């Protein structure tokens, strides 16, 4: 069976970022903990899926996505200073959550969920970065197609469930196992 729309795909791969000698292993999806997703349902980067379309179980793949094909260039305008008081819960700041380097779920004024990384915490403001963690990076994938099968109606329906389901792998929301990087 070939990878095409509404097929359940299972992959193992290594993801390296950077250029030539400077490449760094960012993520590995192994046979024991593979990437699983339904092809053609917007849960993955379109450019990622284009590289995999038509492949079959047992096929190997190796491709590179430029930052333009992946998460775009790093944008300084996506680093914002927010009033510290918006992080209060019951009048208190949760210092176990509000620390440099932590990534926390946020919501914009239109109700869209976003993930923001805390850059700096000051007395009155918190500086947050809303760029995708891989923005500005060239992504190098090398891996193997483990399995391809028809997605069940339940698996397809779970993508449209209220809790969002389907956040896995390198979607616009992030790279990683199910649940990581979901906005």
Quick one: DSSP state of residue 19?
S
Q: CA 103 to CA 117: how far, in whole Å?
A: 4
Say how many residues make up the chain.
183
What pLDDT is stored for residue 28 in this prediction? 96
Q: What are 100-126's pLDDT values in tens digits?
A: 999 999 988 898 898 999 999 999 999
Q: Which CATH number fits domain 7-71+135-159: 3.40.190.10, 3.10.50.40, 3.90.1300.10, 3.40.50.300?
A: 3.10.50.40
Q: CA 60 to CA 68: how far, in whole Å?
A: 24
Residue 85's nearest CA partner among 77, 76, 94, 96 is: 94
What pLDDT is stored for residue 175 in this prediction? 44
Q: CA 115 to CA 154: how far, in whole Å?
A: 28
**Domain positions in the chain:** 7-71+135-159, 76-129
- Determine phi and psi for 34, rounding to 5 degrees: -80, 170
Q: CA 128 to CA 118: how far, in whole Å?
A: 5
What pLDDT is stored for residue 139 in this prediction? 96
What is the value of pTM for the model shown?
Answer: 0.76
What pLDDT is stored for residue 99 in this prediction? 93
Q: What are 124-180's pLDDT values in tens digits?
A: 999 999 999 999 999 999 999 999 999 998 988 888 775 443 333 444 444 443 333
Q: Domain 76-129, what fold? A: Thrombin, subunit H (2.40.10)
Q: What sections of 90-175 are H helices per DSSP?
A: 153-159
What pLDDT is stored for residue 95 in this prediction? 82
Residue 131: alpha-carbon gap to chain centroid: 12
């Amino acid at each position: 069976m070939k990878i095409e729309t509404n097929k359940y795909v299972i992959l193992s791969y290594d993801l390296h970022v950077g250029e030539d000698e400077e490449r760094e292993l960012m993520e590995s999806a192994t046979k024991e903990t593979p990437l699983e997703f339904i092809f053609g349902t917007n849960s993955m980067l379109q450019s990622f899926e284009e590289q995999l379309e038509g492949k079959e179980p047992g096929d190997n793949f190796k491709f590179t996505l430029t930052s333009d094909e992946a998460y775009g260039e790093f944008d300084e305008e996506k680093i914002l200073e927010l009033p510290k008081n918006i992080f209060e819960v019951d009048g208190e700041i949760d210092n176990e959550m509000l620390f440099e380097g932590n990534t926390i779920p946020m919501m914009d004024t239109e109700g869209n969920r976003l993930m923001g990384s805390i850059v700096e915490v000051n007395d009155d403001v918190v500086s947050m970065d809303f760029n995708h963690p891989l923005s500005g990076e060239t992504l190098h994938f090398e891996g193997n197609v483990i399995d391809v099968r028809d997605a069940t109606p339940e698996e397809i329906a779970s993508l449209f469930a209220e809790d969002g389901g389907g956040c896995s792998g390198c979607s616009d929301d992030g790279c990683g196992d199910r649940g990581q990087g979901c906005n």
